[in-house]
Amino acid sequence: MNIQAIRVIYKYEMLRAWETILQSFISPVISTALYFVVFGAAIGSRIQTVDGVPYGVFIVPGLMMLALLTQSIANASFGIFFPKFTGTIYEVMSAPISFIEILLGYVGAAATKSFIIGLIILATAGFFVPLEIAHPLWMLSFLILTCISFSLFGFIIGLWADNFEKLQVIPMLVITPLVFLGGSFYTIDMLSPVWQTVTLFNPVVYLISGFRWSFFEVSDVSVELSMFMVLVFLAGCLITVWWMFKSGYRLKQ
């Protein structure tokens, strides 16, 4: 195991976040605060409670997920895309390092960043509304697993993308709709039956449902099913990334 390599990749990826701290940590906080003002205050004043939870509080897990998913994907995809784009990836490829070590370095750093952002948003939310977390351990597990699996997903996108456009397309065209339609701001049973069925094919629904359950014990699907789906997604990403490295996909001719 090339521990030193993991250490430097992780360290310099974190350093990059630190140097762009405004973009890395502050902007997600600002956008979350804006969501709070718009959804929590404006809409929340009309919809009093959802399943017995005040609306402003109800949307906290969804908001966190929205930020976690977009940040994980953005960080991890950029982290690997950029060296590919500038050509500096040659060094990683010529180093005595295995794909697991590359993953631990890049994805580990991206996941850590998202985790920190998640905590910051949680603290910001606590500033706007009173928060109680019913199952802190479940909450942390969902938080960590989401950071890891979506950083992996971002890493895959970063490997796959061969131009900036592709790098942006997936987060914009796929992830944002999935999160918005995944019940960030409502429960599934508010939808018509047809849409309820359609929604069950949206993986983000399980994520948000499980995460919300760990806060308020209200959920669209059972928490075990949520956890199972998160693990399935994680496994899917791991297999994809393993195959990509194995075949040298988009990296080696």
Partner 1 sequence: MQPIISISNLSKTYASGHRALKDVSLDIKAGEILALLGPNGAGKTTLISIICGIVNPTSGSVRVSGYDIISDYRKTRSMIGLVPQELTLGAFETVWNTLCFSRGLFGKKPDSAYLEQLLKDLSLWEKKDSELMALSGGMKRRVLIGKALSHQPSVLFLDEPTAGVDVNLRKDMWKIVRHLRETGVTIILTTHYIEEAEEIADRVAVINNGELLLVDNKDTLMHKLGKRQLVIELEKPVTAIPAALSAWKLDLSTDGYFLSYTYDPLKAQTGIAELLQALSKAKLLLRDVNTSQSSLEEIFINLVNTK
Nearer to partner 1, 5 or 145 (CB): 5
Tell me the site size for partner 1, rule CB under 8 A. 28
Nearer to partner 1, 18 or 127 (CB): 18
Degrees to nearest 5, angle at CA 224 with 218 and 230: 100
Q: Is 21 in the site for partner 1 (CB under 8 A)?
A: no
Q: Is 164 in the site for partner 1 (CB under 8 A)?
A: no
Q: Is 252 in the site for partner 1 (CB under 8 A)?
A: yes
Nearer to partner 1, 24 or 209 (CB): 24
The tokens describing 243, both together, are: 């195959």
Q: Is 97 in the site for partner 1 (CB under 8 A)?
A: yes
Please, what is the minimum distance in Å from the beta carbon of residue 105 to partner 1?
9
Q: Please enumerate, as own/partner, the contacts of 188-196 that have beta carbons within 8 Å and a separation of 24 or more.
A: 188/220, 189/220
Q: Which residues contact 51 (CB under 8 A, 6 or more apart)?
A: 58, 187, 216, 218
Q: How far, CA to CA in Å, does 245 sit from each of 1, 93, 97, 100, 154?
A: 17, 11, 12, 9, 15
> How far is the C-alpha of 206 from the C-alpha of 219, rounded, in Å?
9
80, 106 contact by CB (below 8 A) = yes
Please, what is the minimum distance in Å from the beta carbon of residue 82 to partner 1?
8
Please, what is the minimum distance in Å from the beta carbon of residue 242 to partner 1?
17
Nearest CA among 112, 110, 147, 121 for reference residue 27: 121
Nearer to partner 1, 9 or 237 (CB): 9
Please, what is the minimum distance in Å from the beta carbon of residue 149 to partner 1?
26
> How far is the C-alpha of 104 from the C-alpha of 111, rounded, in Å?
10
Burial class (CB in 10 A: 0-12, 13-18, 19+), 59: buried
Degrees to nearest 5, angle at CA 114 with 200 and 152: 60
Q: Is 19 in the site for partner 1 (CB under 8 A)?
A: yes
Choose the binding region for partner 1 from 2-10, 26-34, 161-169, 170-178 (rule: CB under 8 A): 2-10
Nearest CA among 36, 63, 177 for reference residue 118: 63
Choose the binding region for partner 1 from 9-17, 69-77, 157-165, 176-184 (rule: CB under 8 A): 9-17
Site map (CB under 8 A) of partner 1, residues 65-94, x = contact:
------------------x--xxx-xxxxx
Nearer to partner 1, 2 or 31 (CB): 2
Query: Residue numbers of the site for partner 1 (CB under 8 A)?
Result: 2-5, 7-9, 11-12, 15-16, 19, 83, 86-88, 90-98, 248, 252-253
